[in-house]
Amino acid sequence: MNDLTKRSYVIVLVFVLVALIFIVKLFRLQVMDPTYKQYATNNVLREVVQYPARGLIYDRNGELLVYNKTAYDLLITPREVKQFDTTMFCNLLEITRKDLEEGIQKAKSYSWYKPSILIKQISPENYAVLQEQLYKFEGFHSQSRTLREYSAPIAAHALGYVGEVTGGDLEKDPYYKSGDYIGISGIEKIYEKQLRGTKGIKKNLVDVHNRIQGSYRLGREDIPAQIGSNITTTIDLKLQQYAEILFQNKKGAVVAIEPSTGEVLALLSAPLYDPGLLVGRVRGKNYAELLADSLKPLFNRALQAKYPPGSTFKTITALIGLQTQAINTSTHFTCNGPASTPIKCTHNHVTPTNVLEGIRESCNPFMWNTFRSIIGKYRTSAEGFSVWREFVRSFGIGTILSSDFANALKGDLPTEDMYNRIYGTGHWNALTIRSLAIGQGELGVTPLQMANVASVVANRGFYYEPHIVKAVEGDTIRSSFKMKHEVGIEEQHFEPIIEGMRQSIKGAYLLPGIEYCGKTGTIQNNQGLEHGAFEAFAPKEEPHIAVFVYVENSKWGASYAAPIASLIIEKYLNDTIASNRHYIEERMINTNLLDPNKIVITDGAAE
């Protein structure tokens, strides 16, 4: 046998081996593997995304705040669509023919081969009717998802809402696909990754009539969805409900904090709105209406309104004065004479006053002279201002106070550079910026920051980062929540301030069995009636609650802000309102400050 013959045998053998391999492979695929038998019977494999239920949200006492309800999306794969009864289809889904045509065209522009959502968030009731007829519409199929539901129509700004992802969301996180939903604001946004869970995939076999025939390979290739983690908030449901009842028909904000932990007990922004308005197929329409509302109910005043704090800021001015030794407890300033000229008192009281009396009487000249003394202690006005500013900043003003709140602002705390630009370097002093002494001028603070100031005073010199989540299922809360933040003011300096705040609580605002401390504020408003504010904490010793209330266009801090704060404190600590204070409660609930013709100003003698 020559070499040529040998090579021929080798080549033939190679071809035979290759042929045998293909024969064995084809036998296994076509005879042994049932997959192709299933396709041969006109079945089609369809992968359906399994959306996990978002985690539930509870209040601090385990009361359910947010849960889920089932809804359905109708998807379309344009390549698979055959001629169908469009009138019947539109009637089943309660849409117009134009909506249908636009939806199909949009799906085609996305992809002829990939499914996309045609109709979102179909209710279980409507879906039950649709499901019976869906086999008549080839190329259409459904997937389930969950929508948010609320146990009570409260805490909209604190809880936040869920909406469809944007292009920016898709770029940031590959987890999301077009048509997915994401937390837009509030707790839903900050804790999105914990709440959202993990999507799964279910593989179904459907026949030519779009009817599910069963799971593909008995579900062995399915990926189960993992539900989101449940969250326990720091919110007290009963207190939140009560605060919102008091604040109906008003503009402003309330923030209540537990000073010993930094846990937010209540947070509201008014005008209020029902969080259920931003759920389901009506969300777009309702959102547009809320956005167009001149009262701006979507604007979170508790975290984003940069209000001048007014006289509630005087506690900080006095504390800085004591700490820098610009004043002491024996220092007196008069309300009369040249020293009082720049900023006069708004009401008559004993004069001259010391620091305790200055807080109790909310004396403008005392605070102006204290501020001037602080700035004057240093070589230049700019140096004195910088020292004052750093103390103010240590209270959390001019900073992002906490990482637990979506879209919170740091407010406005003026800088040396700002005044140099306005007045020129070396051409401004304490007199130029005197309004800062009484919480006016260029200051802008959020109600969350001022509630934190009340916590600092209640704790005699420190605070914990305000936060709204107490626990996350299977996870830990941020370690920063347990860090104590000192403001650099010695504890003994708080005593005259606290006693002055205690003595300022008089008459109808005294609470049965509760000794508490508060400070009113009336804020100038060049666009209408003055705003009223009140900061307080209770009890005086070992405080359980610190609260800040801001009521727009309410004239005096004592007219509405102080009564509302006192009722919130009484409700939280006593769980009820004393019978002799029911008339105050009724007046707060029934007053409509949104209608200027119905505003009744009371307690005008007090600030």
pLDDT averaged over the chain? 89
Closest listed residue to residue 163, CA positions, set 406, 396, 333: 406
Q: What's residue 133's pLDDT? A: 86
φ/ψ of 605, rounded to 5, equals -75, -20
pLDDT at 234 over 60: yes
Distance in angstroms (rounded) separating the CA atoms of residues 120 and 180: 10
Res 604 pLDDT > 50: no
Q: Tens digit of pLDDT for each residue in 76-115?
A: 888 888 888 889 989 888 888 898 888 889 888 888 877 8
Q: What are phi and psi of 519, to 5 degrees?
A: -145, 125
Give the model confidence (pLDDT) of 410-424 as tens digits: 999 999 999 999 999
Mean pLDDT, residues 171-195 taken together: 93
Residue of 425 and 29 predicted with greater confidence: 425
Does residue 455 carry a pLDDT above 90?
yes
Domains 46-233 and 237-564+572-598 share a fold: no
Q: Which residue has the higher pLDDT, 146 or 19?
A: 146
DSSP label at 185? S
pLDDT band, very low/low/confident/very high, at 215 (cuts 50, 70, 90): confident
Residues in the chain: 607
SS (H, E, C) 559-570: HHHHHHHHHHHH
- Is residue 41 pLDDT above 70, yes or no? no
Q: What pLDDT, on a 0 to 100 scale, did the predictor assign at position 350? A: 85
**The pLDDT of residue 476:** 87
Highest mean pLDDT among 34-43, 340-349, 385-394: 385-394
For residues 412 and 307, what is the distance between their CA atoms, to the nearest angstrom?
9
- pLDDT score for 112: 84
3 contact partners, CB below 8 Å, separation of at least 6: none
Q: What φ, ψ does residue 384 adopt, rounded to 5°? A: -65, -40
pLDDT band at 507 (very low <50, low <70, confident <90, very high): confident
Q: What is the dihedral of CA 371, 376, 377, 379, to 10 degrees?
A: 140
Reported confidence tier of residue 38, pLDDT bands at 50, 70, 90: very low
115 CA to centre of own chain: 34
pTM of this structure: 0.86
Identify the CA nearest to 491 among candidates 465, 458, 515, 538.
458
Of the ranges 166-175, 377-386, 389-398, 465-474, which one carries the lowest mean pLDDT score? Answer: 166-175
Instruction: Report whether 358 contacts 369 (CB < 8 A).
Output: no
CA distance 233 to 263: 9
CA atoms of 489 and 284, how far apart (whole Å) = 50
Torsion of CA 589, 590, 594, 600, to 10 degrees: -110
Q: Would you place residue 320 in the very low, low, confident or very high pLDDT band (cuts 50, 70, 90)?
A: very high
Q: Which amino acid is at 466?
A: P
Closest to 158 measured CA to CA, from 580, 469, 576, 501: 469
> Both tokens of residue 176?
């999301």
CA distance 496 to 514: 19
Higher pLDDT, 195 or 345: 195
pLDDT confidence of residue 284: 87
Tokens of 108: 């085609």
The full DSSP string for 198-237 is: B-EEEEEEE-TTS-EEEEGGGGTT-B--BPPPPEEES--H
Give yes or no for residue 39 having a pLDDT over 50: no
Between the CA atoms of 39, 40, 42 and 43, what dihedral angle is there, to the nearest 10 degrees? Answer: -20
Which residue has 């001037």 as its token pair? 372
Distance CA 394, CA 57 (A): 33
The percentage of residues in the chain with a pLDDT greater than 70, rounded to a whole number, is 91
State pLDDT tens for residues 519-578: 999 998 888 889 999 999 999 999 999 999 999 998 889 999 999 999 999 999 999 999
pLDDT at 606: 46
d(CA 458, CA 455): 5
Q: What CATH class does 237-564+572-598 carry?
A: alpha beta
Asked if residue 11 has pLDDT above 90, the reply is no
- Residue 378: per-residue pLDDT: 94
CATH 3.90.1310.10 fits 46-233, yes or no: yes
Name the amino acid, one letter, at 84.
Answer: F
Q: Is the pLDDT of residue 67 over 60?
A: yes
552: left (phi over 0), alpha (psi -120 to 50) or beta: beta
Report the distance separating Cα 491 and Cα 486, nearest Å. 11
Q: Which range has the worst mean pLDDT, 244-258, 341-355, 360-374?
A: 341-355
User: What mean pLDDT do residues 432-437 have?
Assistant: 95
Amino acid 463 reads Y
Q: Where are the domains of the chain?
A: 46-233, 237-564+572-598
Q: Which tens digit of pLDDT belongs to each residue from 148-175? A: 999 999 999 999 999 989 989 999 999 9
Tell me which residue has tokens 């004993």.
350
Q: What DSSP character marks residue 175?
A: T
The C-alpha atoms of residue 214 and residue 44 are separated, in whole angstroms, by 11
- Encoded tokens for 529: 């009636």
Residue pair 416/381 in contact (Cβ under 8 Å)? The answer is: no
**At residue 268, what are phi and psi to the nearest 5 degrees?**
-140, 150
Tell me if 217 sits within 8 A of 235, measured CB to CB.
no
More confident residue, 288 or 14: 288
